[in-house]
Structure 1
């Protein structure tokens, strides 16, 4: 396992240049450039806010702001978008890079590293835009925002572990690529991103206990919306799950790497 990280460090220049090239190539002929990475999620937030704000605005205790629901929604989308983007891109990563894997000799662990770096860059830009929107809406996150880097790290660890595992499986079982987007869409509605936990009936709350993303999204809401420290007991369980998933993903990736090229 150590050899994977050693090779990744040795190719760090390749990883950084690939992230930069991906960013510049994606928006090479776009007038707005990287702003589209911010416009898309903010447009999604605006649509949800317009559709659901009248229903849920009165059920957001603890937020003294007329735009409470939009603020709540943006905080949740920040966590969800990072998770969904990493998992979604890792799911098809090795299939899309099949020709590169066949023609070049390089540490294959650099491919998911490039995905993580690119997704983090997107998320950072979204965070900065979101903080600007918060300021326009009259909401300023407090001291609890110092927890945000740790929460982002948890999301990344959980996502890359799961994404690596699913991405390798998808090379050998292509049905995985068809099923996972459906599961992600279902998981989105089972995660308190567009609704607060307070409106979930007590008889159904046990379902959320099986969703590890629930605690992460709630922690983002606590830090960015309510200015309170996250529940460390809940996050400890997520940290253990993220660690196990990362080890599992790296183990499967390392064992399956030689066979992936043949399968592709």
Structure 2
């Protein structure tokens, strides 16, 4: 099944790249600040949380002495969470937003989530490049260990795309799904160790937070950038497992109800 999907995506690669290019151009063409908006939103969040937690609440990272440690910790979490949030939020509406396209053209529907992931990934690369420059300038670049973030990112993108695909299918039939997920996403953010280190929580609460599949991913990023540690690969397996489940459910639902989805659009 995966091989067949990969083959279809390769055949329609020009469709995907063209869609990403058009979306990027239309998003920033008539904007005065253009691509700068990609940087402004996450940067403002990082500044606010740095002020609140690092300055007001005097939050510190155990075992890390760098004066930039908490800012790096925040960047690692907020930037990658922003990528996850953007993908899942956009894919939940992709069938509704592309209703006319789905009715008029014949193409593999898997192209839509891949287009969203590629577009969000392009935006992420812009802000991530600035983050890397900050690490180099402050002398906190982790070195070759940064390459260990590639498989972590791959698992995150798979989880986000699979969850978004499942939400997108359900949102066609139950329009409340989109609204509900927006609320869930807010709670999910605070139940993930993004702005606070997991170690500062009581042990019982840590056990609950560990049930969150995003916990392992965020910890992997944060340890990589703040401590230059290779991720504990077992910690990202829950995210991979959840992603597989969502992917199989979504693909199965698409196959059984493809015609019904078109009728509902």
Instruction: Settle same-fold status: TM greater than 0.5.
Output: yes
Residue correspondences, number = 264
> What is the aligned-residue RMSD (CA, Å)?
1.7
User: Which residue pairs with 1:47 in the alignment?
Assistant: 48
User: Which residue pairs with 1:238 in the alignment?
Assistant: 239
User: Which residue pairs with 2:94 in the alignment?
Assistant: 93
TM-score by length of 2: 0.93
User: Which residue pairs with 1:29 in the alignment?
Assistant: 30
- Alpha-carbon distance between aligned partners in 2 of 1:7 and 1:92, rounded to the nearest angstrom: 22
- Alpha-carbon distance between aligned partners in 2 of 1:132 and 1:185, rounded to the nearest angstrom: 30
- Alpha-carbon distance between aligned partners in 1 of 2:59 and 2:255, rounded to the nearest angstrom: 50
User: Which residue pairs with 1:167 in the alignment?
Assistant: 168
- Cα deviations by residue, 1:174-230 (Å, 9 ceiling, x for unpaired): 111111011110000000000001211123112112200000000001111110111
Q: CA deviation at 1:58?
A: 4.6
- Alpha-carbon distance between aligned partners in 1 of 2:142 and 2:135, rounded to the nearest angstrom: 8
Q: CA deviation at 1:168?
A: 0.2
User: Which residue pairs with 1:222 in the alignment?
Assistant: 223
When structure 1 is superposed on structure 2, of 95-104 and 247-256 the one drifting more is 247-256
- Alpha-carbon distance between aligned partners in 2 of 1:42 and 1:137, rounded to the nearest angstrom: 17
Q: Which structure 2 residues correspond to residues 3-82 of structure 1 after superposition, within 5 A?
A: 3-55=4-56, 57-82=58-83
Q: CA deviation at 1:142?
A: 2.8
Q: CA deviation at 1:33?
A: 2.0
- Alpha-carbon distance between aligned partners in 2 of 1:105 and 1:241, rounded to the nearest angstrom: 30
- Alpha-carbon distance between aligned partners in 2 of 1:30 and 1:175, rounded to the nearest angstrom: 32
Q: CA deviation at 1:115?
A: 0.4
SS at 1:59 equivalent:
coil
User: Which residue pairs with 2:143 in the alignment?
Assistant: 142
- 8 Å contact 2:156–2:217 — kept in the other structure? yes
- Cα deviations by residue, 1:221-253 (Å, 9 ceiling, x for unpaired): 111111011112222333233223222222223
Q: Is 1:192 matched with 2:193?
A: yes
- 8 Å contact 2:213–2:239 — kept in the other structure? yes
- 8 Å contact 1:73–1:193 — kept in the other structure? yes
SS at 1:33 equivalent:
coil
